[in-house]
Amino acid sequence: MAEEPIVAQTGPYQVDLAEGKAYWYCRCGRSEKQPFCDGRHKDTGLEPLKFVAPSTGTFNLCGCKATDDEPWCDGSHNLI
């Protein structure tokens, strides 16, 4: 059975992404390279999410791990 994700931060991470580049979003909350995966999810049953940046720019990625629009922040941290 999968463990519950840890709230890494109660707000979004503002990150610069490059159009067309693939990234691995941390779903478990345990990575020390938030919001990106560093492999610490091992044995949690939670896998990272691979996504491709839609354009070049600064984006808000979810820090609370409760968004319904992974990896993008949808404001779910306001309900925690």
Distance CA 22, CA 6 (A): 23
Q: What's the helix, strand, coil split of the chain in %, to 5? A: 5, 25, 70
Mean pLDDT of 63-78: 97
Residue 62 above 70 pLDDT? yes
Whether the bond into 71 is cis, omega within 30 of 0? yes
Domain that holds residue 58: 1-80
Of the candidates 18, 16, 49, 17, the one whose C-alpha atom is nearest the C-alpha of residue 31 is 49
pLDDT bracket for residue 4 (50, 70, 90): very high
pTM: 0.93
pLDDT at residue 2, rounded to an integer: 77
Q: How many domains does the chain have?
A: 1
